[in-house]
Structure 1
Amino acid sequence: MRPTSPPANRRRLRRILLVGGSSLAVAGLIAAIVLVATHTQTFVQMISARPPAVGTVVVVPDESKAARALTEGEPPTAAETAATEYLAAQPTAYWLTPELDPADKVWDRIAHLAAEARDQDAALAVVVYGLPGRDCGNHSAGGLDEADYAIWTQRIGEALRNARDVQKIVVLEPDSLALAPECGNLADRGAQLSGAVDAMTGVDTWIYLDGGHSSWLPAEQMADLIRGIGVLDRVRGFATNVSNYQTTSAEFAYAHELSTLLEGAHAVIDTSRNGAGPDGAEWCNPPGRLVGEPGGTYGDDVVDTNLWIKPPGESDGECNGGPAAGVWWPEAAVELTRDVR
Structure 2
Amino acid sequence: MRRSGCGSARVRPVLAVAVSVLVAGALVGAGPAGAADPPDRVDNPYAGARVYVNPEWADRAAAEPGGHVVAGQPTAVWLDRIAAIEGTDEAMGLREHLDAAVAQRAELVQLTIYNLPARDCGRRAPQGELSIEEIVRYRAEFIDPIVEILAAPRYASLRIVAFVEPNSLANLVVNTGSRYTATPACEAVLARGTYLYGIGYALARLGAVPGVYPYLDISHHGELGWPDNSGPMTALLLQAATTAGSTVANVHGFVANTANYSVLREEYFRADDVVNGQPVHLSKWVDWNPFVDEVPYARHMRELLAGRGFSPEASVLVDTSRNGWGGPARPTGPATRHDLNQYVDSSRIDRRALVGNWCNQAGSGLGQRPATEPEPGIDAYVWVKPPGGSDGASGQPGLGQPYEPMCDPYYNPPRGSPYPTGALPGAPPFGEWFPAHFRQLLANAWPPL
Q: Which bracket does the TM-score occupy, shorter chain normalised?
A: 0.7 to 0.9
Tell me how far 1:55 sits from its aligned partner: 5.3
Q: Which residue of 166, 170, 173 maps to 2:158?
A: 166
Paired with 1:290 and 1:95, the residues of 2 have a C-alpha distance of: 21
In structure 1, the residue matched to 2:19 is: none
- Counting aligned pairs with the same residue, the percent is 29
Normalised TM-score (structure 2): 0.59
The one-letter code sitting in structure 2 at the alignment partner of 1:179 is N
Tell me how far 1:297 sits from its aligned partner: 4.5
Q: Which residue of 400, 410, 433 maps to 1:328?
A: 433
The one-letter code sitting in structure 1 at the alignment partner of 2:109 is L
Paired with 1:232 and 1:83, the residues of 2 have a C-alpha distance of: 43
Change beyond 3 A, Cα 1:242–1:68: same
Change beyond 3 A, Cα 1:302–1:53: farther
Q: Which residue of 309, 318, 322 maps to 1:269?
A: 318
Normalised TM-score (structure 1): 0.76
Question: Would you say 1:257 and 2:300 are equivalent positions?
Answer: yes
Q: Secondary structure at the match of 1:63?
A: helix
Paired with 2:107 and 2:367, the residues of 1 have a C-alpha distance of: 20
Q: Which blocks of at least 5 consecutive residues in structure 2 are unaligned?
A: 1-33, 176-185, 266-292, 307-311, 326-348, 394-406, 408-422
Q: How many equivalent pairs are there?
A: 287
Tell me how far 1:204 sits from its aligned partner: 2.3
Q: Which residue of 84, 93, 98 maps to 1:114?
A: 98
Deviates more, 1:84-93 or 1:167-176: 84-93
Tell me how far 1:68 sits from its aligned partner: 5.2
Q: Which blocks of at least 5 consecutive residues in structure 1 are unaligned?
A: 1-40, 71-79
Question: Would you say 1:312 and 2:387 are equivalent positions?
Answer: yes
In structure 2, the residue matched to 1:34 is: none
Question: Would you say 1:60 and 2:53 are equivalent positions?
Answer: yes
Paired with 1:273 and 1:55, the residues of 2 have a C-alpha distance of: 24
Paired with 1:268 and 1:236, the residues of 2 have a C-alpha distance of: 11
- Which is richer in helix? 1
Change beyond 3 A, Cα 1:298–1:49: closer
In structure 2, the residue matched to 1:47 is: 40
Question: Would you say 1:203 and 2:210 are equivalent positions?
Answer: yes
In structure 2, the residue matched to 1:283 is: 358
Question: Would you say 1:90 and 2:73 are equivalent positions?
Answer: yes
Tell me how far 1:155 sits from its aligned partner: 0.9
Q: Secondary structure at the match of 2:255?
A: strand
Q: Secondary structure at the match of 2:321?
A: coil
Determine if contact 2:41/2:210 at 8 Å carries over to the other structure: no
In structure 1, the residue matched to 2:169 is: 177
Paired with 2:49 and 2:428, the residues of 1 have a C-alpha distance of: 32
Deviations 1:30-73 (A, max 9, x none): xxxxxxxxxxx9xx746364533455442111133x52587xxx
Q: Which residue of 224, 242, 249 maps to 1:233?
A: 249
What is the CA RMSD across the aligned residues, in angstroms? 2.5
Q: Secondary structure at the match of 2:170?
A: coil
Determine if contact 1:91/1:308 at 8 Å carries over to the other structure: yes
Change beyond 3 A, Cα 1:102–1:45: closer
Tell me how far 1:133 sits from its aligned partner: 0.9
Tell me how far 1:302 sits from its aligned partner: 3.8
Determine if contact 2:372/2:379 at 8 Å carries over to the other structure: no
Determine if contact 2:324/2:365 at 8 Å carries over to the other structure: yes
